Amino acid sequence: MRNGRVRGSITRRSGVLAVAFSCAVAALGQSQPATQPAETIAVARQRLTRIKSRDRTPSDRTLLAALDFVIAIGSDDSRRIANLVDAVGYQALPLAGDLPEKPDKPLSPAALEKVLPELPNADLGVLPAQCAAVVPRAALAAEFPAVATWMLPQDLAVVFQPVRGNSLPTWLSQRACVVVRIRGERATIIGGNLLEALLMAAENAAPEAEEK
């Protein structure tokens, strides 16, 4: 509303001010959007898939592969997992401690398929996307030294964390990660300790389910 001397009677001035106030309130209401629900893993995945492949950053590719992997685990989709895991297999790595001198052989897609029934069969896509974060090798060393030692310098990891108050008892009870390697425009899961952590969470949830 333009500043300046308002002429006329007090009544007229009051009317003008009342209209101006009403307009300001209406404009303020329009400028304050309703609180949006937190983005879920499934929604974040959809958002990333809408980015053209050539425009995705390494972090975009890494996060998309990791979210795809988690959703495939929850839906027991062995074919999808086989497409996401690197051709050499999935290298299971320790949740704590140093890297063994002779790590176990990578799990092939066939071996992973045998592990799937033991993993949580739930819609993990409903979890908040905030529980996943892309982390470079150097920043991972303090928390997961074995994983960081095993990674190549250009590899990236996605760290997943527990979600307070979630309705999925088989989700993580401790932080865990997957390692992603990018070749060209293709990102694949090459290892991590996420599967071990999910297996532990599923085992811990089983007695609780039996008690209920």
pLDDT for res 211: 54
Note the pTM of the prediction, 2 decimals.
Answer: 0.79
3-state secondary structure at position 207: helix
Domain segments of the chain as ranges: 1-35, 41-211
In CATH, 41-211 is 3.40.1710: no
pLDDT for res 20: 37
Spatial contact of 179 and 155, defined as CB atoms under 8 Å apart: yes
- Encode pLDDT of 137-194 as tens digits: 999 999 999 999 999 999 999 999 999 877 787 899 999 999 999 999 999 999 999 9
Overall average pLDDT of the 133-138 stretch: 97
**Percentage of the chain modeled with pLDDT above 90:** 65
Residue 117 banded pLDDT, cuts 50, 70, 90: confident
Spatial contact of 120 and 199, defined as CB atoms under 8 Å apart: no
Q: The tokens of 128 are what?
A: 């908040």
Looking at per-residue pLDDT, the higher value among 210 and 92 belongs to 92
Kind and range of the H or E run holding 91: strand 91-92
> What is the average pLDDT value for the chain, to the nearest integer?
83
pLDDT for res 206: 64
- Apex 98 CA angle, 87 and 117, nearest 5: 45
